[in-house]
Homo-oligomer: A and B are copies of this chain.
């Protein structure tokens, strides 16, 4: 008595290997999960707008073009997902991660946050909208295992 496929979007921090840890764990557990993610190549993600659609003299518009091209991917993937995991790391502003969390919450997607305990206070509103607050990618794999198979 289970779904035969789950789509999970992995949003947020792109400088550690947490997505790979989850992917490996999911595979090992044999879970019927399709993992989606934004483009995690930082430079490609920054340059995509001008690289494809033409150079800009002004950095604002370079960023703007790139952000919108990335949004084609991220919004489409969030809308298709059964749940959204958002990871916050120690560095950078990561406002796009929090934006994704708000976007997912407004769509009613089950939200899982993933971050160290010392980020609890600034993330309290995001955590408040989440159905689970994890500290490690291994916990996310355990959550998926339980949610999908019922196994603790």
A: residues with CB less than 8 A from B are 1-4, 6, 10, 19, 23, 34-37, 39-41, 44, 47-49, 51-54, 57-61, 63-73, 75-77, 79-80, 82-83, 88, 92-108, 110, 112, 117, 119-129, 131-135, 139, 142-143, 146-148, 150-152
Known: A70-B128, A106-B106. 15 other contacts (CB 8 A): A1-B10, A1-B37, A3-B36, A39-B146, A44-B146, A53-B132, A54-B135, A59-B121, A60-B117, A68-B128, A72-B147, A79-B108, A95-B126, A96-B124, A102-B103
Count copies of this chain in the complex.
8
In whole angstroms, what is the CA distance A41 to B151 when docked? Answer: 9
Q: A67 with B103: in contact, given A83-B72, A150-B39 (CB under 8 Å)?
A: no
- The secondary structure that dominates the A interface is helix
Q: A67 with B1: in contact, given A103-B106, A143-B72, A152-B48 (CB under 8 Å)?
A: no
Q: Decide if A106 touches B102 in the complex (CB within 8 Å).
A: yes
Q: Which residues of B contact A129 (CB under 8 A)?
A: 71, 99
Q: Decide if B98 touches A95 in the complex (CB within 8 Å).
A: yes
In whole angstroms, what is the CA distance A51 to B145 when docked? Answer: 12
Q: Decide if A99 touches B105 in the complex (CB within 8 Å).
A: yes
Residue contacts A-B, CB under 8 angstroms, 8 given? A48-B152, A60-B133, A72-B131, A94-B95, A95-B122, A95-B125, A99-B105, A102-B105
Give the distance to chain B from A87, nearest Cβ to Cβ, in Å: 13
Q: Decide if A66 touches B124 in the complex (CB within 8 Å).
A: yes
